[in-house]
Amino acid sequence: MALSFTFISVIWLIFISPLPLISSSSSFSSPPFALKLGSSLSVEKKYDFLFSPNNLYTAGFYHIGENAYCFSIWLTKPLSDGSRTIVWMANRDSPVNGKFSKLSLLKTGNLILRDAYQRLPIWASDTRDSTETAVLRLNNSGNLFLQNRDAKVLWQSFDSPTNTLLPTQPLTKFASLVSSRSLTNHSSGFYKLLFDNDNVVRLVYSDSKLIGVYWPNPELRAWESGRNVYGSKRVAAMDSSGHFISTDDLFFNTSDAGDQPLRKLTLDFDGNFRAYSLDESRGIWQVTWQAISEGCSIHGSCGENSTCSNDPIHGRKCSCLPNHRMINHTDWSYGCEPEFNPTSCGNSEYDFLHLPHFDFWGYDSRYMPNTTLSACKQECINSCSCKGFQFKYDWNKGFSICYPKFLLVNGLSSVNFNGSMYLKVPKNISLSLNNNSVVQGFNLNCSEKPTIQLDRDYDMYHQKESIKFLKLVTYVVGGLEIICIVYFVYGTRSNSSTRGYLQATSGFKRFSYAELKKASKSFSEEIGRGGGGIVYKGVLSDNRVVAIKHLNESRNMQGEAELLAEISTLGKLNHMNLIEILGYCAESKHRLLVYEYMENGSLSQNLQSKNLDWDKRFDIALGTAKGLAYLHEECLEWILHCDVKPHNILLDCNYKPKVADFGLSKLLDRNGTRDMEFTRARGTRGYMAPEWLFVNLPITSKVDVYSYGVVMLEMITGANQSGGSEGRMDSWVREKIVAAGGKNDWVQEVVDSTVIGNYNMSSMRTLIKVALRCCQEDKDARPTMSQVVDMLLHVEDED
């Protein structure tokens, strides 16, 4: 008896125990809970898993396809259909082989995933542990974490979610959820859930061609969707009883809140963000909340040239436009292509196919309010890029609006939509298009369980048709900036020695010093100072009145060719809200620039004047924003103004603003400008963005946005910043808003009561809020100048 027991023990020790024995000290009766330094989990060993102490979660190699494994965490218990619920993956986009692949915890404390024969790891935690005591464990909440003797967590899976958040797992500003490609393909898909630059949690669609926000409703401002952009932290999480809280004021309770089932939040492959509860008895996940109730408001699902319609059974359905065919019959995201030859522009006649109740969201080339159908058609015919237009009557405004489109994406067909789409087609084929029944339907099969019925819907926003904007383009700013600069510096400079060529292209004149001296009556009439020089009024020989700027002499004076190279580029910038450069002079030590003259002087001279009523102030805000947006985006923001202030905003005879002194920051200090790293502390006290004060923060176009915000607040409140007062005006305004406690009467408290005329309350409120956003401490939280323009245009639209 004793002998046979020993025998069995020996057999057990030799044959069975090595398989699950990962933690060397563990007794073989308990399953492995920890991976120690120097050991590994192998893809080949059937029992090489880590379990959570409550056995709810398992971590190990998960078989995702033929000879393809991903290191994952999943729910130990399978669902009723036998499938596993994967909650995290280390290497979703690069699965490893089913042989010789390993997850190893190196002696250094680095956790690495190696594919069969590859030398470099597929994935690594990039951690170090000097105490040599780190252990990898999976805890009862499903968190895989690496912890050392000092109880320091070196790495944890909760910090890098895949497409799922577990209860108590926070979504932070460092992380985002990325959907899977499809129900069966776990690699990264097109949808993301993340904290946007303005601190708001959003859903974003992004593929190689398009990028756009679709939740919360992009036609509404964040605060109109109940979100708060002023939170400085970015954290969102759900607790185990189904209460979700986020720092942007997004709160929701799942429909079964209070109960304690197993829960998860997943960004599904169809782009919807859902909360699920596990129904243990039936072995299925139940949806208990979802971000989007109408499947078609999720962008990107149906690809180009196709439309989405909400389908009660399948959630949504894609259809090609008439006379278009599906490009890839298994995947709608490829979209549809026209069956006719899209004729080359200009040499054919066009007709328009009327598609009532069809809409394509975004990608408008223009916004044409109060227009007629024929004017809209003409506009689309005249524009080569126009693929069609959306036309609808706005009952609130009492006129029709036309939106010509250069891309037909995010299509929607819904009887609730009262506008029409007009598709531009070559005339000779339009005859065969006269019946609309050619629209072919196709199901998306987008939901695991076709009917996702909710006890309670979450839909805070209501449909509102307004100006369609938000071209949320995430520029790869750094890279492009540098490319632009390199292009600019070398592209223009290499040719700058050939003056004749430059003058021919830029069309402005080289003046002699004597000529300018005479024009300005020996520089007698000074009209301004700053931006590196003194400005004088002058009258040229052809009787044109001009402003002549005499640049200060600086130690590292540029040669004429270099000066010319710089200002010729500035001279090519042509925008109604930028001051025009008429010429220059470079003789011995003198460097002068000749500008158009502005009758009404600078904004700073006018701020106290009775002539600047609210309408004019609003126009100035908008015009200045347009000018700066043009500067920033002409070559993806290579020209920063760096000194936006009321002195540099000039007013013409109609009080239309023109931004002056742009580009001089580059001009005046060439040495510092390499890599956009300006010598520090440029600009004017009171208008300078905080990042100027910190050596390690990059200087981007957002410094101008900040200064612009200060100028706007100055225009609104009448406070004067040019004294360089220490008290920040934006803080003052924010305090007033907080003090008002949600009521609107803070507006009266904030605006300058000495300014004559009435203002529209909602416009003013928007204006102030835009200005406050521009003045955010965190540069990423500020909008770009073109977003500012869009927001201000939107204000106008509401009047």
Ligand X SMILES: *[C@@H]1O[C@H](CO)[C@@H](O)[C@H](O)[C@H]1NC(C)=O
User: Which residue in the set 224, 279, 294, 337 belongs to the binding site for ligand X (CB under 6 A)?
Assistant: 337
Determine the Cα–Cα distance for residues 668 and 567; give it in Å rounded to an integer: 11
Q: Residues 55-84 vs ligand X: string with x where CB under 6 A?
A: ----------x-------------------
Among 124, 368, 381, 429, binds ligand X (CB under 6 A): 429
Which span sits near ligand X by CB under 6 A: 134-142, 197-205, 513-521, 758-766?
A: 134-142
* CB closer to ligand X out of 84 and 243: 243
Q: Could you write out the DSSP letters of every residue in 122-155?
A: SEE-----TTS--EEEE-TTS-EEEE-TT--EEE
- Distance in angstroms (rounded) separating the CA atoms of residues 119 and 376: 61
Long-range contacts of 755-759 (CB under 8 A, 24+ apart): 755/612, 755/613, 755/614, 755/617, 755/718, 756/610, 756/613, 757/613, 757/614, 757/615, 758/614, 759/614, 759/618
How many C-beta neighbours within 10 Å does residue 646 have? 23
Q: Does 501 contact ligand X by CB under 6 A?
A: yes
Which three-class secondary structure state does DSSP give residue 319? strand
- Residue tagged 């599906």 (tokens): 326
Choice between 239 and 749, CB closer to ligand X: 239
Residue 317 contacts ligand X per CB under 6 A: no
Q: Is residue 365 involved in binding ligand X (CB under 6 A)? A: no
Exactly one of 435, 543, 588, 754 binds ligand X (CB under 6 A); which one?
Answer: 435
The one among 17, 187, 228, 240 contacting ligand X by CB under 6 A: 187
| Euclidean distance between CA atoms 630 and 785, whole angstroms | 8
Binding map of ligand X across residues 660-679, x = CB under 6 A, - = no contact: -----------x--------
Reduced to 3 states (helix: H, G, I; strand: E, B; else coil), residue 353 is strand
393 binds ligand X (CB under 6 A): no
- For residues 169 and 178, the answer to whether their CB atoms sit within 8 Å is no
- How far apart are CB 232 and ligand X at their closest, in Å? 22
Is 549 flagged in the annotation as binding? yes
Name which of 160 and 418 has its Cβ closer to ligand X.
Answer: 418
Confirm or reject binding of residue 248 to ligand X (CB under 6 A).
no
The DSSP element (H or E) to which 75 belongs, if any, is: strand 68-75
Structure tokens at 676: 């956009």
By CB under 6 A, is residue 12 in contact with ligand X? no
In this complex, which beta carbon is closest to ligand X, that of residue 726 or of residue 799?
799
Rama region for 116: left / alpha / beta (φ>0; ψ in -120 to 50; rest): alpha
385 lines the binding site for ligand X (CB under 6 A): no
398/741 with CB nearer ligand X: 398
Binding mask 342-361 for ligand X (x = CB under 6 A): xx----x-------------
DSSP states of 735-755: HHHHHHTT-TTHHHHHS-TTS
Which residue in this structure is represented by tokens 């401002």?
Answer: 221
Q: Which lies closer to ligand X via its Cβ, residue 312 or residue 398? A: 398
> Is 556 a residue that touches ligand X (CB under 6 A)?
yes
Query: Is 437 an interacting residue with respect to ligand X (CB under 6 A)?
Result: yes
Considering only residues 717 to 776 of the shown chain, the ones binding ligand X according to CB under 6 A are none
**What residues pair up with 215 in beta bridges, in sequence order?**
203
Backbone torsion region of residue 791, taken as left when φ is above 0, otherwise alpha when ψ lies between -120 and 50, otherwise beta: alpha
Instruction: Tell me the three state secondary structure of residue 211.
Output: strand
Neighbours of 581 (CB within 10 A): 22
The two structure tokens encoding residue 462: 């209501």
Q: Judge whether 746 and 735 are in contact, CB under 8 Å.
A: no
> Does residue 478 belong to the site contacting ligand X (CB under 6 A)?
no
- Segment interacting with ligand X (CB under 6 A) among 29-37, 335-343, 658-666, 778-786: 335-343
* 554 makes contact with ligand X (CB under 6 A): no
R_g over Cα of the chain: 32
Chain-centre distance for alpha carbon 150: 40
One of 48, 643, 704, 730 is an active-site residue; which one? 643
Nearer Cβ to ligand X, position 399 or 732? Answer: 399
Active site residue 778: no
In angstroms, the Cα distances linking 502 to 496, 512, 614, 662 are 7, 17, 43, 20
259 lies in the site for ligand X, by CB under 6 A: no
Q: Which of 113, 66, 110 minimizes the C-alpha distance to 90?
A: 113
Is the Cβ of residue 777 or residue 796 nearer to ligand X in the bound state?
796
Residues with active-site annotation = 643
Binding site for ATP: what residues are annotated? 549
Site residues for ligand X per CB under 6 A: 65, 139-141, 143, 156, 158, 168, 181, 185, 187, 243, 251-253, 257, 304-305, 328, 330-331, 335, 337-338, 341-343, 348, 370, 387, 398-399, 416, 418, 426, 428-429, 432, 435, 437, 443, 445, 494-495, 501, 555-556, 671
